[in-house]
Amino acid sequence: MGGDSVRISIRQQLGAGICLLVFYALALSLLMIDHNLSENYEEKVKADSVAAADSLARNIAQFINNTNIMNQMIASYPRLQELPREEQQQLLAGTVKRYPWVQLMTISRLDGTEIVRSQGYRATNVDRPWFRQFMHAGKPSLSPMFYSLSSTLPAVALTSGIYDEQGKLAGVMMSDINSAALQELVDSYAVGEGREVYLLDSDGTIATYPQHTRMEELYNYRTLKRQHLMRDVDGGVLRDHEGRFAIRQEPFDVDPEFLTLVRKTIAGEDGVREYRDADGERYLCAYRSVEFAGLDGRWSLLVVQRYSDAMEYVQQSLRQSLWIMIAVLLFSLAVTIWWAGHFTRPIVALAQTAKRVKAGDLSVRVPLTAKNELGYLERQFNAMIESLEQNRQERLAASQKIKRLAYHDSLTGLPNRVQFRLFLKRQLRRLQKGVVVFVDLDQFKYVNDTFGHSAGDRLLVQVSRRLVQAAGDKAFACRLGGDEFMVVLTDETALADIAARADAIVQALAQEYKVSGRVLRISASVGIARYPEDGNTVEELMRKADTAMYRAKNNGRNCWKLYSEE
């Protein structure tokens, strides 16, 4: 190096000094944005949690109140107890079918013996919790959670009195609500941003639980004990000598701070608070009491959200801001000597725009001041804002499209295989009888090979319309894929009705089709399987309906066959 000294030019000094000032200015801006955005967004998250809890509480109350109105309407049916038992059973069974979230209805005498139930064998209800609660309260009541005798799953019961013409209590009407219906209702609110919903009955027992694997157990937050049914080695539920379920109770642990909020809610308090779990994780909890008009019993609702998930938007925005500001700093290093006098104003405008963007205002734009690199940065920042706005709209559109594509056939618009399996699985749990119809077009490959796949697609659209019309308004029709269709009949289970409906389908599909100026004829082979006679699982019924369809093809096509073991 010798005696030479390292010289730093005025330009370099000016550039370094201005860049240092810019660095401090940007860092300060980032801190201010972090403070303002975090504080405002945290208040917004709290307000959103409170609004979600209030809305869900109203929906739960409306759900229970509507079911209670239905229960009281049936209880006040004219001369209900004087009707023949068969008509009483038909009335209850029809009501359960019309309201799928009600899994059982019963009419009992005042001594607890059942007169009639919507399905299954009659029982004695004198020891059932819902019966004891009604007889004690003497008015319509909503029971705590209990194990249903009909499904062995947790349920809740609505009870109403049946009165004679003199206004004297003569019996008890009970509607058994499956806890899965309540779970489905709260699940619609427990999505996104780590949100969980806890719904407790009047005794402090969980009615819906974020972990669905625990739905068969009853967790009581008053006693801190959980109940579950005892089972034998084959999985069957054990009962005592009087036919009651054998139930085991075990203690369970709860985070102390969360338990404090649960007890506040059970005591009737409303509010929103933060708490930490045993691992130090922060949570935001909005808690509400759920009141039911005209019913004995108050429930509790807690909407819990992990703080880090709720504030993820803020963290992501800050990371984006950091990268933007780093880019601005590097850019300023390159042009500060020549454009120092003009650089500060655009940077301030950029920082102000970033602040508004992070506050959620995507309508703001950076004013364009030049056509050089700084102008390019301004345009790119505006493009980023426009991209954010466009992405928000595209995500919404994509979400709706994905949901439809997941459950519907894109060509015919009919439900697809996935929705068919979900529908049939629900029907197998809900209904005692039904029919699965497998429809396969005859010689459809000839149409594709001769007239092209576009003609085949147009033909499939016409076939789907005729199939839906021939199957009837109460049938469920779907396209499995290719030239295969499925129909589920739930109201036509007699052989004569099945034959008539199958004939209608075969005849409707065998009519002429006008496709691309041509008149085509095509037929269908139809296989039919019934449940529970031919199976009680989706796979078994589809396989046996498919076997019956091939028998129809082997029998000359353009006909239908019932499945048989022969």
What are the φ/ψ torsions at residue 17 (nearest 5 degrees)? -65, -45
Give the active site residue among 483, 491, 497, 534: 483
**Helix (H/G/I), strand (E/B), else coil: 81:** helix
- Let me know if 483 is a catalytic residue: yes
How many alpha carbons fall within 13 Å on the CB side of residue 180? Answer: 13
Q: Which H or E run contains 440?
A: strand 434-442
CB 549 within 8 A of CB 440: yes
Q: How far apart are CA 296 and CA 137, in angstroms?
A: 7
Q: How far apart are CA 73 and CA 451, in angstroms?
A: 60
Q: How far apart are CA 28 and CA 343, in angstroms?
A: 17
CB 225 within 8 A of CB 251: yes
DSSP string of 139-197, one letter each residue: S-EEPPPEE-TTTSSEEEEEEEEEE-TTS-EEEEEEEEEEHHHHHHHHHTTS-STTEEE
CB 534 within 8 A of CB 452: no
- Please return the burial class of 380, using the count of CB atoms within 10 Å of its CB with bins 0-12, 13-18 and 19+: middle
475 Cβ contact list (under 8 Å, min separation 6): 468, 487, 488, 489, 490, 501
Q: What is the CB neighbour count within 10 angstroms for residue 43?
A: 10
**Helix (H/G/I), strand (E/B), else coil: 442:** strand
Q: How far apart are CA 554 and CA 48, in angstroms?
A: 62
- Label residue 27 left, alpha or beta by phi (over 0 means left) and psi (-120 to 50 means alpha): alpha
Locate 379 and state its tokens.
């345009």
CB 545 within 8 A of CB 552: no
Q: How far apart are CA 459 and CA 436, in angstroms?
A: 23
CB 226 within 8 A of CB 235: no
Locate 535 and state its tokens.
């199976």
**Displacement of CA 358 from its chain's centroid (Å):** 31
Q: How far apart are CA 281 and CA 295, in angstroms?
A: 38
Q: How far apart are CA 144 and CA 130, in angstroms?
A: 8
Residues recognised as catalytic: 483
